Amino acid sequence: MKHTVHSISSIFVSLAISLLAAAIVWALWVAGLLASIQAVFVYSTSAYIGELVQPQIWLAGLLIATGGLCSGFAVQRGGGKRAFLVLSASIGLFLGINYAAAWFFAIDILFAPIWLSAMLSACMVQARRLWTLDKELAFSIRTSASHVNALEGVSAEERLLNGLRLLDTVLPLDEAIVFKFDEEEKLAPGGRLRHRGSMAEMSRNSVWREGVQLCEKAIKIGETLVSESAEQSSVALPLRHEGHDVGALLVRLREKFDENDRPLLAAVGAQLARNLQRDEARKHPQSNDLVSFLSVTAAERRLGSFGVVSGLLTEQRFGAEVLSQVSDGHAVAYLDGTLAYVNPEMIKAAQIEENQGWNLNLFTLLDRFRTGVFDEPSIAVRRVLQTGTAYERELNYPDRNQTLGLKIGLATERNLTAEKAAQPLCIVVNVRDVTRMKEYDKMRSDMASLMSHELRTPITSINGFAELLALDDAIPEESREFLNIIVSESQRLVRMINTFLAVTQLQQGDKQDVLKIPLKLDDVVRETIASQ
């Protein structure tokens, strides 16, 4: 409904613009400023030259307005390309009628004013449509940029300093400066990290000028420049993002520059360039008026805002590269079932060729893991989409002596505000090979059972014979006390073995009832003293 209302309102606005265009052309016609143009599109016999009949002013205004309204409506509903074809055909037909009316009836049906009204109306309506789309695009970019800012959690200055601190940990850094362009397009410091007692501190002015000149030269030629002296080395790296210069990085080292560090500087410089461009785009608020639509500066700022989104997309690729290094299988699918990413471990677990990975979709991939407890992947996916709860199963494959842990989950966007519910983004499939873990658990369980059985047999014998000896009246009282201790301790060993088995089963995930009973401390102390 909202979209329908918006479309109806847009049509009314376009019709109003068309009427304005028609009014302008009508005023020019009334003022006689279109006479020369109008004469080009009429042709009559010599008997009627100079005697063509023209409509009255009100009828002329109606015809001009009709031409403008029809043209504006066609552009608004059909778009500029399709409207151009329709208008071209209509104008051609109307031009023929105009010549015929002038030739046979000596009537001027005002082709020129109507044609100008239609063209001006089409241009104005198309410009308004482009302006509206430009506003929506600018709003979307600003929203995305603000969303990125909320995700970062730190200021732009702090991110620049973090990059310089990273360089300080891997390079013999004396000083590092990030330059950015000011309002006069000159280099100005945006972030700086400097050690006390450095050469830059002792001769700050001269070194500063040399560093700025080196950065300007590096930006001009688009290459990394190195300047070495007896005391230190200076490296100037131009910072570029999406083909645009956004600043420069100046690094001063306490020793000779190692050429092997160029890739390191290039990688850090690329991140600093994205940070600078992102910060620059946020500093210039964008207006949505018609003047900004026609302004080159405003267009450049909108292009800079798009650079924020481009930088974000570059950084988002880090996640896919990280997943390619993990030992578990991961696959990401869009909500239409198309696979967005499959890492090598997932391809290996599905037992398919690497070049066939991109020919799969979500369900053909899950079909590769069908087994007894997972025979209907579509039901599992449906439950995940309905409830948002992850689906987890252990899949056993006796033919290949393998056990896989399968998890199907729904990833949702992180809710930065409580104004709206989190929107689902994609379906995530994780597969982990738990064969060795299961074998270890089984081996541990078997060992515990074996040890408990082997311990129970001698303890049972000790306990039984001690009880028989304690029943013999010929045994002295002191020996009987020792026998009672043997019986008590053997029974305690049995209880300890039972407890050990119960704990082992709890670790395996089996449900066990844990019984809690009250305990008298004096009995525990008495038994402890008696066993000493």
The 10 Å CB-count burial string (b at 16+, else e) for 38-60 is beebbebeeebeeebeeeeeeeb
Task: Give the per-residue pLDDT at 153.
Answer: 47
The per-residue pLDDT for 49 is 45
> Whole-structure pTM over 0.85, yes or no?
no
383 token code pair: 């439950």
Phi, psi of 245 (to 5 degrees): -75, 125
Residue-level pLDDT at 424: 80
Token digits for 521?
């401390």
Domain boundaries, the chain: 2-148, 154-283, 326-433, 439-530
Say what the pLDDT of residue 200 is.
46
Per CATH, 154-283 and 326-433 having the same topology is answered yes
Phi-psi category of 456—alpha, beta or left, where left has phi over 0 and alpha has psi -120 to 50? alpha
- Predicted pLDDT at 228: 84
Q: 175 near 155, Cβ under 8 Å?
A: no
Considering the domain 439-530, what is its CATH architecture? Orthogonal Bundle (1.10)
Torsion sign across C-alpha atoms 434, 439, 444, 446: positive
Task: Give the per-residue pLDDT at 408.
Answer: 92
**Domain covering 326-433, topology:** Beta-Lactamase (3.30.450)
pLDDT of residue 482: 82
For 154-283, which CATH class?
alpha beta
pLDDT per residue over 452-507, tens digit each?
667 777 888 888 888 888 777 778 877 878 888 888 888 888 888 777 777 766 65
What is the predicted pLDDT for the residue at 295?
54
Q: What are phi and psi of 195, to 5 degrees?
A: -90, 140
Q: Which ranges of the chain have pLDDT less than 50?
A: 1-6, 44-49, 150-151, 153, 199-202, 416, 510-512
Best CA proximity match to 178, nearest among 242, 272, 265: 272
pLDDT tens string 29-43: 888 887 777 776 665
pLDDT at 372: 82
